[in-house]
Structure 1
Amino acid sequence: MARQPSRLPWSRERLEHERSIALGAVLEASSHASYNSALQSYLTFCQAHHFPIDPTPDTLSFYIVYMCHHIKPKSVSSYLSGICNQLEPIYPEVRIHRKHRLVTNTLRGCTKLRAIPTTRKRPITREELVHITSQYPPSASHDDKLFIAILLTGFHGLMRLGELAWPDKLSLRDYRKVSRCNTVNISDNTFSFLLPSHKADHTFEGNQILLHSTNTGDDPLHAFTSYLTSRDTSFPLNPELWLCADGSIPTRNWFLRRLRTHLPDKDVAGHSLRAGGATALALAGIPGYLIQAIGRWASDTFRIYIRQHPTLLAAILYNARNAT
């Protein structure tokens, strides 16, 4: 038997303390806030209708019927996940009740009766990227270079805006998710950096973001190197990769305010970068499994980001092949 290294034992209090920290890190701060909101919704419902808090199939089915009159059935389904997560320590059978036939059929029936078409923000096009970047001269300010670098990196890297900028709420910011400058590698035709953690990274190992030069008006390599030169001149000792002129990490609102000066319509949001990049790759004939890998999707849910009707995509790709 291999010899074990000598380790000092911990007290019961230390073990309980460390376990509490580990359990507290299971959920992201944003997920925890959403789950708390769902629980408060359920508790308010029970109090208003004089129901016991015990989440029986009967109570959960009544909750579904009531809430589906006020919000989308899909949102109610998400609420149920949060309710199960929050109440499970007190009511261990809550997940069994959630899967009860009365509950699932009630939700299915409400979805059928009150289904609402999903509306999503439109994707940004490459033509719009070229138009936006053409408005910034080489002598642009540091914040302008930062905006263009984030815009093109997010589009071509199929990145979420939350991976490039901090949340507006202080309570949701996590420094462990901030990309570091010392992970950057630049070659003649590519650049890369480490994304420390993201939504689909269940092992928390991070992912290497690698982008290739396009040699076009929306070239991410040129924009990134221009920004990086300005950043290294102003903040040579700061570890963060993305920094504004005042030394702060750009926020979601900071980026969207600038984006909407160029694209003022309300159909553009943070997801427009990721959706635009995925759609552009699909239009270029890139296979779905490669788009899924580039965007670091854990499943085929990436298909909802491709905002073109399959019939239109087929016609575009067919005409392109005939032209060549």
Structure 2
Amino acid sequence: MPPKRGQKSATTTTTKRRKAIQFTDVTQAAPLQLPPVEPPAQNEILNIDYDKLAATILKQSHAHNGLSLQPQEAPSVPAATSHSSETLPKSTADPQSSSVPGPSSQQPSAQQPSTQQLSAQQPSAQQPTSSVSSSTPVLGTLLDQVFAGSLPDSSSSQSSTDRSSKGPLNNLNPVCLKLLESSLSSSTSKAYRRSWNLLLTWNPHISLPMSVTDVCNFIGHLFLQNYSPSTIFSHISAISFMHKLCSIPDPTQAFVTKKILKGCQAVGSKRDTRLPITAPILQKLIVALEHTVSQYSLRLLLRALFLLAFHAFLRLGEITAKSMNAVNGVLQRSDITFKQENNLLEGVQIVMRDYKTNKHHVPIIISLQACPNSLYCPVQALYKYLALYKHSSGPLFQTMDGLPITYSVVTSHLKAAIQFIGLSPDQFKGHSFRIGAAKHAASLGFSDNVIQKLGRWNSDAFKHYIRIQSFHI
């Protein structure tokens, strides 16, 4: 008999009761669900009955049909341990400790990857990469290897992994390393190393590859320090060289970097205030030495040095040492050979081995002819100086005690002589000899190409033998 209106069916009530019972069974089992496994860093050990937990997981799998864990995939449960969270405080528990094994470090969650899985998926921070190390000491070592001629030689005893992890240059064979060291002149290598020293002084934490921002800010720093645009270009070229050598992107070629360099050239260009030491000025300087230098031997040295620097287009750095470490880089006594015939001094031959633009390490020979009738003949002055000092080795210009004449000593005596003849020392420097020689050669009708060869301003125009007729002044 159907139920009356408003009366619920018994079958319906029974069905709902069954569903409620099923729901009640599930909810009663819910508190036994696997709690989220905290990371090992929290050092917590859980006291869990794993047999009961496994049975609950299987029961929920059949009830919901959504859990991926199958009975045969259930992890093995380790033997019960006597340690628990009650006997070991949470703050001192260490799941990774070998003396206190904890279930949380051995039982990975079914829904959360284990710590070992995460470490396998994520690269280790200490794994070697193909880029250059970011630590400054490693960068300094690499700079010393490149610019001090101590590139690492890859030996057969080293594994390929060890060689590749130490730097981009370790896999080159000895022949390539030697060719690489010969690609730069010694002066350029020293200049590039000084540029990097300046950069690391500005930012000790700099590393390769440099960012465009760091390069631009370094340019701004140099500009504020009143560096000339040409000097800034030289420092930036050292940065460019290292990036290209390591086969990494060169930040100096970025658009913004080039524009900032162009701005330095437009805003910071300064007119060269150095004036040339012309032939008349040189004559006055030689006479002034009689009054500004009391020691005869030193006066004879400075006379020969001034005349040779003018006639041979020499830089003071090529004949005077700026430090004791640069003694071997200046003109040596063994590089000077006099030519005589019938007891008459005809000329001198100078072998230039180390000079600024000698990128290919090819010596160049300069031959100066003597002017017997001139009071300012560089060959006669050099011969008299060497006849008095009598040294056969070491730097060409040195004191009676055998010490190399320094750059500072020569410039100080030059300044005194300049002041004595009434000129400004701020306008006449050591480089004024080369400037004056170029101007004097042009006044005698020498072409620009010949002047560049005589002064070694363009390495592509060098010739192995240069003959210079001494100027009649």
Q: TM-score, normalised by structure 2?
A: 0.51
Task: Name the CA shift for 1:109/1:34 in 2 (closer, same or farther; >3 Å).
Answer: same
Contact 2:219 2:232 in 1 (8 A): yes
Give the distance between the partners of 2:416 and 2:176, measured in 1 at CA: 46
Contact kept? 1:43, 1:53, Cα under 8 Å: no
Deviation, structure 1 residue 125: 1.6
8 Å contact kept, 1:35–1:85? no
Aligned to 1:207: 364
The 8 Å contact of residues 304 and 382 in structure 2, kept in 1 or not, is answered as: yes
Q: Secondary structure of the equivalent of 2:203?
A: helix
After superposition, what is the alpha-carbon deviation per residue over 1:248-300, rounded to whole angstroms, capped at 9, x for unaligned?
A: 11111121122122103222221111111111111222212221121122169
Looking at both structures, which has the greater relative contact order when contacts are Cα pairs under 8 Å and sequence separation is at least 6? 1
Quick one: distance in 2 between partners of 1:275 and 1:13?
55
- Separation (CA, whole Å) in 2 of partners of 1:227 and 1:134: 17
Q: Which ranges of structure 1 fall in alignment gaps of 5 or more residues? A: 1-9, 302-324
Q: Which has the higher helix share?
A: 1
Q: Following TM superposition, by how much is the alpha carbon of 1:124 offset from its aligned partner in structure 2, in angstroms?
A: 0.9
Shift of 1:148: 0.6
Which stretches in structure 2 are left out of the alignment for 5+ residues? 1-153, 159-169, 420-424, 462-473
Q: Distance in 2 between matches of 1:30 and 1:54?
A: 21
Deviation at 1:109, TM superposition (A): 3.5
Spell out, residue by residue over 1:175-203, the C-alpha distance to the aligned partner (whole angstroms, 9 max, x if none).
15442336412233322221222111222
Q: What residue in structure 2 maps to residue 222 of structure 1?
A: 380
2:441 equivalent to 1:285: no
Question: Which amino acid is the alignment partner of residue 252 of structure 2?
Answer: R
Which of 215, 222, 243 pairs up with 2:398? Answer: 243
Kindly state the Cα deviation for residue 11 of structure 1 after the two structures are TM-superposed.
4.9
Alignment of 1:305-316 (within 5 A): none
Aligned partner of 2:265 among 111, 135, 144: 111
1:205, CA displacement in angstroms?
A: 2.5
* Count of residue pairs brought into register by the alignment: 278
**Alpha-carbon contact 1:179-1:193 (below 8 Å) kept:** no
CA distance in 2, matches of 1:299, 1:32: 18
Output the CA distance in 2 between the equivalents of 1:24 and 1:166: 23
Find the counterpart in structure 1 of residue 433 from structure 2. Answer: 273
Distance in 2 separating the partners of 1:58 and 1:134: 55
Residue aligning to 2:348: 191
Aligned-pair CA distance for 1:226:
1.2
- Please say if 1:125 is aligned against 2:278: yes
C-alpha change, 1:288 and 1:176, in structure 2 (3 Å) is same
Structure 1 residue 94, shift from structure 2 partner:
3.8
- Give the counterpart letter for 2:256 in structure 1: L
After superposition, give the CA deviation of every residue in 1:35-81 in whole Å (9 maximum; x if it has no partner): 2234226636x88xxxx974333543454456545544444333322
Give distance in 2, aligned partners of 1:136 and 1:62: 47
- Aligned AA for 2:445? G
1:31 matched to 2:31: no
Percent identical residues: 19
Please give the residue correspondences for 1:57-206 in structure 2 after superposition, counting only pairs within 5 Å: 57-65=212-220, 67-71=222-226, 72-86=228-242, 92-95=247-250, 97-112=251-266, 114-134=267-287, 141-167=296-322, 169-171=323-325, 173-181=326-334, 183-187=336-340, 188-206=345-363
Contact 1:39–1:82 (8 Å) recurs in 2: no
1:260 aligned partner, one-letter code: K
Which one-letter code corresponds to 1:83 in the other structure? I
Distance 1:20-1:244 versus aligned 2 partners, 3 A rule: farther
Report the alpha carbon displacement of residue 143 of structure 1 after superposing the two structures with TM.
Answer: 1.7
- Pick aligned residue for 1:255 from 403, 410, 419: 410
Report the CA distance between 1:140 and its aligned residue: 7.2
